[in-house]
């Protein structure tokens, strides 16, 4: 693979010494906000390549775009159409398309505003027309992971149906929706293909001969990275499912993707060997007892899959010639082509170090979404017949001199007990400035969300927003992060609020001890689960001078008994322990319980439409610190849910965070509005 390091060319002028945090930079909050998000959900429609991409300036919608065979890129759906699903709140694959012999392509998509399925012929005269009805019950009817079957006149997908007003009054099934629009006002016209024996399901994959369907299922209290099963069904001539049964997977085995090969075998990714590995099973050879499976690329301590946070993610795709395109790696990801007969794996050439969980194939071509430390996410095509790669969509362009981009250092630190803690360190970097002699830079620890997630090795202009001003950033893949095997992931089992806090602190302490960071000017920030880690760190370690907390969990007991959505409503059973057995642990771990220990300034950012980490968590925490004289700011944003998408919100949040650091660290002359800190 080609080098992934950014250019280290030296500027032609000598950098001028200036206090850290005051360096002039063209990377402002508006620039960072305009590059927020990435292309997602690539697929081919005939000879065209389609995908969704973010539009922060258009109300944060996800636009569906297409690239013609001639290379012309156009927007399929004009504003305000927004291709985004809310199934399990995190959504997933929101669209599918097929080429037709006449009339151009047909696309089916989920519109975010009402969560209905719509059909659209972009080359025709008509506007999108609805395929599914609206339900007034609870969260309504929602759809995700569609697969169009024109010969059957149907689109198969996951149906999420609320049965009451509560967040967990919900059922999910595999369903078939007529393409003729007959279900647009008639729920009864939707055919349920599976029963609702499982709480969660993914969209079904139809075998090439049309005889079988397979999908993934799991149940509370497990999350999909804990344990899932692959369900198999025979497909009748009438298009219904029969003989539904489990094939592979278990309560302690995570299968994250299934696809049919052309020989009738089923390819799947399982972590039964500690790492998510690509395997094959032949359903016709299964006759009871142990199911014979074959690992296709054995002996590699790497991940070939990941956490199923969204429904329809893809880490591999079989090609027509028998080879398999795979995403794999430890910590970082690469695109490779696997020969399943020999086990030979050849990685593509190119600078990319982070591949998103989306792949499409067409003939000899493989299409994915990838980034590097010096390029943002772009749509990339591999021609497997020649080995040639090229960018075909959302191409990266340098909005500023790349000398302002942060330069990552992949490092492994020593945590408590000598355990490894992986992190990406971004020292301050600016071609025009250097720090004064004898001064160490302030550093901010970034705790990622999930917590079953990880930070990719990819260009992030939010990081550059701080590093180009002279504030260092370190992103910590603490114990519990994915990308390092199941054992590393399960370090967090019943240890949330302990291991993550300790690992972040160990990295910060190490940077200070080695002279890379100013111990008196350390901060921590994070959103969602990262907001939890940030708040838990501020109320327990005494290490950080301040913190920025976004849409957090602050009260475990409240969150566990009805203050979140169904998907994560029992997540704490594994992260903390069964509530019925260890209720005191929920209270003792919560930042809310220890609000009296808080001594440092903090910024709290919250979307008012957030149903995953609702505003009531923040409000309860603020009531607990009222009158204690702790400098703080609480900024709320209407129209924002879990994670910010609106351009104005992204700008305000970044500038407020910078102002917090400037006031806390004693940095004068920052170029943002002053954040009012209340006491």
How do residues 606-650 score in pLDDT, each as one tens digit?
999 999 999 999 999 999 999 999 999 999 999 999 999 999 999
- 675 domain-assigned: no
How many domains is the chain built from?
2
Domain that holds residue 176: 50-192
Q: What is the DSSP string of 174-212?
A: EEEEETTSTTSS-GGGSEE-S-SSSSEEPPPEE-TTSSE
Beta-bridge partners for 446 = 475, 525
- 265 domain-assigned: no
- 573 domain-assigned: yes
**Pick from 617, 451, 632, 619: which is nearest to 526 by CA?**
451
Residue % of the chain over a pLDDT of 70: 98
Tell me the average pLDDT across 521-534: 98
Which residues, 6 or more positions from 503, have their beta carbon under 8 angstroms from its beta carbon?
Answer: 415, 421, 476, 478, 479
pLDDT band at 357 (very low <50, low <70, confident <90, very high): very high
Give the total residue count for the chain: 679
pLDDT at 8 over 70: no
- 275 domain-assigned: no
- 497 domain-assigned: yes
Tell me the average pLDDT across 219-230: 98
Per residue in 460-484, pLDDT (tens digit) is 999 999 999 999 999 999 999 999 9
**Pick from 509, 516, 548, 522: which is nearest to 427 by CA?**
516
What does DSSP say about strands 443-447 and 472-477: parallel, antiparallel, or unpaired? Answer: parallel
Beta-bridge partners for 310 = none
Per residue in 78-93, pLDDT (tens digit) is 999 999 999 999 999 9
pLDDT band at 7 (very low <50, low <70, confident <90, very high): very low
The rounded distance, in Å, linking the Cα atoms of 380 and 368 is: 5
pLDDT band at 290 (very low <50, low <70, confident <90, very high): confident
Per-residue pLDDT, 679: 92
pLDDT at 267 over 80: yes
Token duo for residue 477:
């893949």
Q: What is the DSSP string of 317-367?
A: EE-TTS-EEEEEBSSS-EEEEE-TTT--EEEPPSS--EEEEEEEEETTEEE
The rounded distance, in Å, linking the Cα atoms of 679 and 628 is: 7
pLDDT band at 6 (very low <50, low <70, confident <90, very high): very low
pLDDT band at 101 (very low <50, low <70, confident <90, very high): confident
Per-residue pLDDT, 421: 98
Per-residue pLDDT, 2: 35
Angle in degrees, 0-180, between the axes of helices 529-538 and 499-513, rounded to the nearest 10: 60
Side by side, the strands of the sheet bearing 546-550 are: 409-414, 420-426, 472-477, 443-447, 522-527, 546-550, 602-607, 632-637
pLDDT band at 667 (very low <50, low <70, confident <90, very high): very high
Per-residue pLDDT, 608: 97
DSSP state of 565: -
**Which domain-ending residue is among 192, 222, 242?**
192
Instruction: Give the CATH number for residue 446.
Output: 3.40.50.1820
Per residue in 359-418, pLDDT (tens digit) is 999 999 999 999 999 999 999 999 999 999 999 999 999 999 999 999 999 999 999 999
**Pick from 248, 356, 252, 262: which is nearest to 295 by CA?**
248
**Pick from 99, 100, 39, 110: which is nearest to 75 by CA?**
39
Per residue in 541-580, pLDDT (tens digit) is 999 999 999 999 999 999 999 999 999 999 999 999 999 9
Per-residue pLDDT, 12: 53
pLDDT at 9 over 90: no
- 204 domain-assigned: no
pLDDT band at 1 (very low <50, low <70, confident <90, very high): very low
Per-residue pLDDT, 13: 75
Which residues, 6 or more positions from 78, have their beta carbon under 8 angstroms from its beta carbon?
Answer: none
* Average pLDDT of the chain, as a whole number: 95
CA distances from 29 to 53, 648, 676 (A): 20, 10, 18
**Which domain-ending residue is among 171, 192, 213?**
192
User: Rounded to 10 degrees, what is the CA torsion of 434, 440, 442, 443?
Assistant: 100
Other beta carbons within 10 angstroms of residue 516's beta carbon come to: 16
Tell me the average pLDDT across 292-308: 94
The rounded distance, in Å, linking the Cα atoms of 114 and 183 is: 15
**Which domain-ending residue is among 192, 224, 243?**
192
Tell me the average pLDDT across 16-31: 97
- 358 domain-assigned: no
Residue % of the chain over a pLDDT of 90: 95
- 290 domain-assigned: no
């Amino acid at each position: 693979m080609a080098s992934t390091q950014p250019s280290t060319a030296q500027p032609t002028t000598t950098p001028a010494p200036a206090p850290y945090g005051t360096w002039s930079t063209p990377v402002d909050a508006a620039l960072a906000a305009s590059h927020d998000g990435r292309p997602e959900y690539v697929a081919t429609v005939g000879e065209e390549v389609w995908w969704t991409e973010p539009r922060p300036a258009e109300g944060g919608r996800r636009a569906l775009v297409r690239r013609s065979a001639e290379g012309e890129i156009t927007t399929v759906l004009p504003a305000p159409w927004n291709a985004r699903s809310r199934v399990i709140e995190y959504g997933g694959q929101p669209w599918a398309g097929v080429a037709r012999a006449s009339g151009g392509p047909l696309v089916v998509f989920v519109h975010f505003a009402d969560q209905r399925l719509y059909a659209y012929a972009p080359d025709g005269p008509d506007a999108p027309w609805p395929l599914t009805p609206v339900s007034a019950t609870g969260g309504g009817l929602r759809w995700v992971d569609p697969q169009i079957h024109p010969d059957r006149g149907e689109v198969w997908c996951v149906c999420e149906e609320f049965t009451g007003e509560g967040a967990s009054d919900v059922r999910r099934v595999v369903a078939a929706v007529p393409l003729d629009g007959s279900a647009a006002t008639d729920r009864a016209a939707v055919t349920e293909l599976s029963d609702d024996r499982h709480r969660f399901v993914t969209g079904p994959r139809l075998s090439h001969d049309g005889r079988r369907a397979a999908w993934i299922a799991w149940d509370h209290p497990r999350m999909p990275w804990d344990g899932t099963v692959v369900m198999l069904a025979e497909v009748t001539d009438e298009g219904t499912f029969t003989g539904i049964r489990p094939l592979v997977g278990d309560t302690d085995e995570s299968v994250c993707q299934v696809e049919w090969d052309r020989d009738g075998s089923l390819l799947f990714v399982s972590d039964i060997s500690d790492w998510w590995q690509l395997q094959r099973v032949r359903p016709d050879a299964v006759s009871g007892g142990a199911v014979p499976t074959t690992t296709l690329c054995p002996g590699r301590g790497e991940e070939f899959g990941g956490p199923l946070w969204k429904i329809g993610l893809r880490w591999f795709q079989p090609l027509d010639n028998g080879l398999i395109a795979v995403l794999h790696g430890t910590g970082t990801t690469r695109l490779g082509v696997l020969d399943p007969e020999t086990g030979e794996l050849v990685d593509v050439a190119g600078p990319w170090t982070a591949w998103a969980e989306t792949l499409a194939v067409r003939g000899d071509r493989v299409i994915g979404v990838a980034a590097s430390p010096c390029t943002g996410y772009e749509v990339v095509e591999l021609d497997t017949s020649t080995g040639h790669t090229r960018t075909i969509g959302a191409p990266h362009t340098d909005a500023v001199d790349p000398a302002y981009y942060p330069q990552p250092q992949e490092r492994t630190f020593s945590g408590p007990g000598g355990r490894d803690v992986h992190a990406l360190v971004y020292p301050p970097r600016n071609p025009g400035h250097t720090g004064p002699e004898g001064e160490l830079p302030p550093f901010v620890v970034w705790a990622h969300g999930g917590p079953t997630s990880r930070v990719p090795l990819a260009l992030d202009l939010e990081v550059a927003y701080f590093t180009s001003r002279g504030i260092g950033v370190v992103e910590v893949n603490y114990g519990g992060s994915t990308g390092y095997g199941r054992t590393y992931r399960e370090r967090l089992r019943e240890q949330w609020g302990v291991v993550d806090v300790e690992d972040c602190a160990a990295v910060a302490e190490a940077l200070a001890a080695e002279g890379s960071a100013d111990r008196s000017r350390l901060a921590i920030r994070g959103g969602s689960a990262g907001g939890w880690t940030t708040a838990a760190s501020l109320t327990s370690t005494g290490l950080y001078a301040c913190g920025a907390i976004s849409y957090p969990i602050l009260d475990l007991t409240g969150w566990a008994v009805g203050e979140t959505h169904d998907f994560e409503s029992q997540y704490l059973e594994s992260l903390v322990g069964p509530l019925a057995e260890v209720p005191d642990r929920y209270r003792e771990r919560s930042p809310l319980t220890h609000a009296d220990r808080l001594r440092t300034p903090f910024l709290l950012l919250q979307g008012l439409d957030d149903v995953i980490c609702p505003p009531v968590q923040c409000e309860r925490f603020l009531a607990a610190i009222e009158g204690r004289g702790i400098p703080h700011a609480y900024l709320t944003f209407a129209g924002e849910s879990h994670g910010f998408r609106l351009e104005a919100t992204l700008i305000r949040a970044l500038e407020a965070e910078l102002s917090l650091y400037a006031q806390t660290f004693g940095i004068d002359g920052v170029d943002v509005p002053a954040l009012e800190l209340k006491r």
